[in-house]
Homo-oligomer: A and B are copies of this chain.
Amino acid sequence: MVGDVPVNIDLIRAAEARLAGHARRTPLLSSPFLDRIAGRRVLVKAECLQHTGSFKFRGAWSAITALPADVRGVLAYSSGNHAQGVAYAASLRGLAAVILMPRDAPAIKIANTRALGGEAVLYDRATEDRDALGAGLAQERGLELIPPYDHPQVIAGQGTAGLEIAEQARALGVSKAEMLVCCGGGGLSSGIALALEAEAPEMRVRTVEPEGFDDVAQSLASGTVVTNPLRSGLCDAIVTPAPGRLTWPILQRLCGPGLVVSDAQALRAMALAQERLKLVLEPGGAVALAAALFLPGQIEADTVIVTASGGNVDRDVVLRALAMGESDAEC
């Protein structure tokens, strides 16, 4: 069923119409202090201010509002942000939401999923097969699976962030830029790439991943899908094994080369986002900003736009980031 829906700009525009008045139009922020560190203009799409603290609400709302009216409920699996987006979107629509989550996801994400109305079912990343568990639950309880990225309506929903970016950049007089996107399975990256292909064709979309989880960068470099070993990492929101079946062809056609940052760089970017943008980011939501700030030699454009894609972070990680950023206080 999913495979029958072409993922293109029309699907994104249709999602935009369904999201109007429900998703937040997040601001495109900047700071002269960040421009100085990066050596170029830096614009930050603050998706951490989206409902449930990440861009994932867009894809969730898009997918759920595209379901038939008689659906009994939805099922999602994710490290947390997708789960929160699905739980909240489903609760706003009066639908049940069962969320299959790894037992080692940050405590705040599990608690939030439950508080937002989701039924959290936990599993062990190392010993259990998430996909098999999910398929069983879906069949048993008659739920529609909303996958975190490999779904046309999810990609279309994330792409609405790209439509906003194109319009907001245009209002600032920016048509040429490198667009850096925090990348896990590629839902946000591919959605934004399709939106900018139509609305800002002079922008180049580049994925940003954490070291050790750079399956997309390696796949883009080699021209064939490369897989990471499945394990957990600091940037838990974007720790994925490989680009998706639907996202990969879009990434390959429109994106690259991929960028890779260290955990330390992600933490320093978190500290600078706090200090200079007044934004709370999670590590996985800070990797694009980290690339803009700390990899200047790998970027060519005068303007770089980054997604600050999520802010759902445990307090101890914020404390670690603020300690890391100590030396940047007077930047």
Contacts and interface: CB of A to CB of B under 8 A. Distances in A.
A167 to B, nearest CB: 13
Interface in A310-325: 311, 315, 318-319, 322, 325
13 contacts: A21-B171, A27-B27, A29-B49, A33-B112, A33-B115, A49-B277, A111-B330, A278-B311, A279-B279, A280-B280, A315-B325, A315-B326, A315-B329
Interface residues of A, number: 35
Nearest to A276: B53
Given A46-B49, A318-B322, 19 more contacts: A24-B27, A24-B29, A25-B27, A26-B27, A27-B27, A27-B49, A33-B112, A33-B115, A49-B278, A49-B279, A108-B329, A275-B280, A278-B279, A278-B281, A279-B280, A280-B280, A315-B325, A315-B329, A319-B322
A276 B56 CA distance: 16
A116 B36 CA distance: 11
A279 B273 CA distance: 10
Interface of A: 21, 24-27, 29, 32-33, 46, 48-49, 53, 88, 108, 111-112, 115-116, 171, 274-275, 277-281, 311, 315, 318-319, 322, 325-326, 329-330
